[in-house]
Structure 1
Amino acid sequence: MTLTDIRGRLAVAPPRTRRWPGWVAVGVWAAGIAAAFAVGWYLRRAGLATEDRLPPLHARARGRPLTWELLPAAAYAAAAVAALPVLAARLAWRALPPAVWALAAGWAVTLAVSGGWDALAAPLNAPTEYPAGLAQLRPGVLEWLRTFTERLGGYTTHVRGHPPLPMLLLWALEKAGLGGTGWAAAFIIAAGTSSAAAITITVRCAAGERTARAAAPFLVLAPLALWVATSMDAVFLAVGAWGTALLALAARRRGALAFASGGGLLLGCLPYLSYGLLPLFAVPLAVLLLTRPRARVLAAAGAGLAVVPAALTLLGFWWPDGVRATLDTYLISRGSAQRSYGYFVFANLAVLGLLTGPAVAHALPRTLAALWRAARSRTVPPAAAAAALAGAGLLAVLVLDASGVTKGEVERIWVPFAAWITVAAAPHHHRPRAWLAAQAATAVAVQALVLSPW
């Protein structure tokens, strides 16, 4: 064997001594999740954390764990683990994003219906959810919007906690003849799972097609699918993901100005869907830094970005007043404001680990190392570009977590961020099927043991 052959093998297969940080990270991932639930159990037993039945999740343990009900999900996962790496590698690029969307939707729905078909729409039937507030909007949408802030205290919990755009989306669905929680659930799941396709497209633009193909299977089988079906935060994920994807396409394709303005339009919706989505702008900013579009593309994106804020302001909703009113109702409520900051600032990250799974934990040390090397060398290879997208999502979570406005219920709140962090799993696994199986097993285990309101 020649010296060149030896060097080639070493380049393909990293030395074992370089693999241990990933396994340490997986150990920390598992220990952190276990510790978060153990401490939560102790605090609840001591009467110090009574807002949630199963802290840090806003959920409860199932009285009887699901068994045979999960056989369809297990079969789907087994087939996906076997087929996804091949499909991702061999499908023509035009066919890959639609396939990723369809497979992600199948995974989310198969997991959800293990609790019964009514589990898809049941979360939206709760009296605290958005659809319960539609009766107050129907008499006059413009009057409702104009008086939204001053009448905030009389609305349902989720309406009080968000800007008006989620309700306007449901109202528009109803006006289109798709009223009821069944259609709302279908819209949420279709939108949320489409984000897997959007992120795949973004990764291709920023990090190359090979990295995008490697990321696709992990985006399909991400454990966060548990809360895509069915939580309105899945729509927030879709809006941010497609806005970012269009922005990425604007730097690479013909019709750049149309892509840029469309991306800006969607991204301009984010602060009006949830006040907590502002840190998510770290992801499109990372895309801009990686793709370096022309000035006219940035101008078109900026013009699109201003449309929704300008329209809603002209119609009577002033965003800073909405933030202030929501904060006031938050502080006097018995919900998140009463939860322990000291516990949830760490436990929230354990919940993020559940959404992203062990494959991301294993990849995280190399992700951070890739970012460090790129910063020092001022070059951005594909692995570093993918790491930048994941790192931007992680940075956004850390900022929001430290702010203290996300104490609990983050299994849904983290959804728009966790999907981007999942990209970290793309370039680091030489055995993708083993890690895909670990991702699927995490989701199945949580669904078997935990009954979530979303």
Structure 2
Amino acid sequence: MITRRRALAAWAALVAVAFAVGGLLHARGVLRIDHLPPLHALARLPTLALLPAAAFAVVAVPALPRLTAHLPMRAALAAAFGASLAWTVLLAVSGEGLAWPFTHPQEYLAGLGAVGDDPLGWLAGFTRDLPAYPTHVRGHPPLPVLVLWALAAAGLPGPFWAAVLVVVTGCSATVAIGLAVWRVAGEEAARRALPYLALCPAAVWIATTMDAFFAGVGAWGTALLVLGARSRTGRVTLGLGAGLALGALPYLSYGLVPYLVVPLVAAVTAEVPRTTVAACLGGMAGVSALFAAGGFWWPAGVLATHAEWAADPGAARPYLYFLVADLAVLALVTGPAAAAGLAAPGRAGERILPVAALAAVLALDVSGVTRGEVERIWLPYALWIVAAAGRTGAGRAGDRRLLAVQAVAGLLLQGFVRSPW
């Protein structure tokens, strides 16, 4: 059996080797577009602006485990969500600001001009016109842009409101994953996972990338599905809601197809009734039917995006290095406590959802289409893996130190890494 100490040593060794080899490859000109490999980022020095986030961590590390352990479950979930939101925002404002990443000319908002007042016309021509769009639009299906278009149409345009949507949805994944763990592994397991979900290093990117929105949608889709296992009156409604959320995932990011293994494993483990599963499948089919009716054929989108990816400098990144380096980035995003939690003894039910998410990540990693820039791509998967940290038990003093290490990891990443998202 892998001990906690060995798991933490393996975590540190993986990260150290990835940075050492990445630095050597960058110095030799092999990695020209990555200046701080394995991260797609630049190095910087921390400033005093990081102090509010550090002060919050000092208070939250001892207080949050007590709150999530003793409050009524709904209040515990609310406390974890509030802490996640505060932690994420404080980290973001210590750098370039909450909305800055969404002002980048290659981001999704830059593609709204092409949509204009005709989203259906834009959708029908999306695949045909793909080469003319900003980088992030070219690399994804059309739904992220349509979400931001709908936000602007509702009277909330611009980078600030896009950031609010992404941060709130991304942080709400803490609640959704807590609910799913509660139904699959029990209330105690969920309570122990909540502090780690709230203070995870992934918060550094939750405030800066649309992938945090994807994480929230996927987490709520899974949560609604397993909640249907305990509901007698809302089985169809919950299943349909789960289906709409999960069915949207392939239209938010092509890389989220393997994510569907998480709700599948959750449904089997929680023994979700057939009526809920049928409603979920119906909702998923309905999403695909709507996009097809609008003129977007998903397989054609995959082929067009792959062609754009193959012509991008990122496709020239060395496969073998990033096969390992991408896992090192996953280690950074999830933090050392996740590694310790995966190795910790205990009931298999507490480990099954994080392991399902890890298996999905490994499938994407081996495929080779995720070479670098995965600190954002891994977000939807990483939050489920972070839930494994709860297996260490945040209520004990030794394990509370692991929670402190998680917070320190987030502070170090925010302080020393300048991400383009």
TM class by shorter chain equals over 0.9
Letter in 1 for 2:324: F
* 1:197 partner SS: helix
Letter in 2 for 1:348: D
Letter in 2 for 1:40: G
Q: Which residue of 1 aligns with 2:384?
A: 420
CA contact (8 A) 1:85 1:432 kept: no
The alignment yields a C-alpha RMSD, in angstroms, of: 1.2
CA contact (8 A) 1:233 1:415 kept: yes
Letter in 2 for 1:151: D
User: 2:82 is matched with which residue: 93, 102, 111?
Assistant: 102
Give, in angstroms, the shift of residue 98 of structure 1: 2.1
2:57 aligned with 1:77:
yes
Letter in 2 for 1:75: A
CA contact (8 A) 2:68 2:77 kept: no
* 1:311 partner SS: helix
Q: Which residue of 1 aligns with 2:123?
A: 145
Q: Which residue of 1 aligns with 2:4?
A: 22
Q: Which residue of 2 aligns with 1:394?
A: 358
* Alignment map for 1:5-404 (pairs within 5 Å): 21-62=3-44, 65-116=45-96, 119-254=97-232, 255-334=234-313, 336-366=314-344, 383-404=347-368
Give, in angstroms, the shift of residue 94 of structure 1: 1.9
User: 2:407 is matched with which residue: 417, 427, 440?
Assistant: 440
Q: TM-score, normalised by structure 2?
A: 0.97
* 1:427 partner SS: helix
CA contact (8 A) 2:228 2:273 kept: no
Q: Which residue of 2 aligns with 1:378?
A: none
Give, in angstroms, the shift of residue 101 of structure 1: 1.4
Letter in 2 for 1:251: A
Give, in angstroms, the shift of residue 256 of structure 1: 1.4
CA contact (8 A) 2:170 2:216 kept: yes
Letter in 2 for 1:42: L
Query: What do the CA deviations read for 1:291-323 (whole angstroms, capped 9, x no partner)?
Result: 112221211111111121110100100000000
Q: TM-score, normalised by structure 1?
A: 0.90
CA distance in 2, matches of 1:295, 1:36: 45
Letter in 1 for 2:405: A
Give, in angstroms, the shift of residue 227 of structure 1: 0.3
Q: Which residue of 1 aligns with 2:372?
A: 408
CA contact (8 A) 1:260 1:301 kept: yes
Give, in angstroms, the shift of residue 432 of structure 1: 3.1
Query: What do the CA deviations read for 1:56-111 (whole angstroms, capped 9, x no partner)?
Result: 1110001xx11422111111011110111110111111222222211101000111
CA contact (8 A) 2:178 2:191 kept: yes
Count of aligned pairs: 417
Letter in 2 for 1:91: L
Letter in 2 for 1:114: S
Query: What do the CA deviations read for 1:7-44 (whole angstroms, capped 9, x no partner)?
Result: xxxxxxxxxxx7x7211111111111111111111101
Structure 1: gaps spanning 5 or more residues? 1-17, 371-382
Query: What do the CA deviations read for 1:176-226 (whole angstroms, capped 9, x no partner)?
Result: 000000110011000100000000011111111111101100100110000
CA contact (8 A) 2:201 2:335 kept: yes
CA contact (8 A) 1:153 1:329 kept: yes
Q: Percent identity?
A: 50
Query: What do the CA deviations read for 1:150-171 (whole angstroms, capped 9, x no partner)?
Result: 1100000000000000000000
Query: What do the CA deviations read for 1:319-359 (whole angstroms, capped 9, x no partner)?
Result: 0000000001111122x211111110100000000011111
Give, in angstroms, the shift of residue 363 of structure 1: 2.0
Q: Which residue of 2 aligns with 1:15?
A: none
Give, in angstroms, the shift of residue 51 of structure 1: 1.3
